[in-house]
Amino acid sequence: MTNEILVVGAIPARTQAAVTAVVKDLEQAFNAHDPVALSEQFAREASWTNAVGTRLDGRAAIAEFSGPAMKGFLRDSYARYDVVKLLEVTPEVIGVNVRQTPTDSSGNPVAGPHGVTTYVIARQQEGWRIVVGQNAPVDAPPAA
């Protein structure tokens, strides 16, 4: 699969880099099993629906849910997050489509649940943060 990102709208390179960095920081936090670092990628008043359909409202709720999950059923889970599309909603709000691929702890792809995620990332006082997100499990794409 290609790592090329489809960009829709006049999104400056600086904004593309900042928004993509939020997703990469989220990936690093997930792979480090760090619920605080993961939650810090979200706005204080974010709304996130995870892959099992649980809606979490606010950064604190995201951290509270993620801590036990990362020590429990996600403790051996790792993933690569690839941004596949950026959509300019406004200059301060970017829609982001992400493909998630399960990996081992070294980043090599493995069998397991894949995911697709849609994030709305907006510029906040503290920088770019996820304000809305929806994560969904999907079947692995067919081998090329």
Global confidence as pTM: 0.93
pLDDT in tens, 4-42: 999 999 999 999 999 999 999 999 999 999 999 999 999
Residue 3 has pLDDT above 80, yes or no: no
For residue 144, what pLDDT is reported?
59
Measuring CA to CA, which residue among 138, 79, 139, 70 is closest to residue 108? Answer: 79
CB neighbours (10 Å) of residue 103? 17
Measured CA to CA, the distance from residue 104 to residue 79 in angstroms comes to 8
HSE, side-chain direction, 13 A CA sphere, residue 121: 31
Whether residue 37 contacts residue 25, with contact meaning beta carbons closer than 8 Å, is answered with yes
Measured CA to CA, the distance from residue 69 to residue 71 in angstroms comes to 5
Measuring CA to CA, which residue among 106, 61, 15 is closest to residue 7? Answer: 15
For residue 92, what pLDDT is reported?
97
Residues in the chain: 144
For residue 62, what pLDDT is reported?
97
Look up residue 109 and give its DSSP letter. Answer: B
pLDDT in tens, 93-108: 999 999 999 999 999 9
CA angle (86, 100, 51) in 5-degree steps: 100
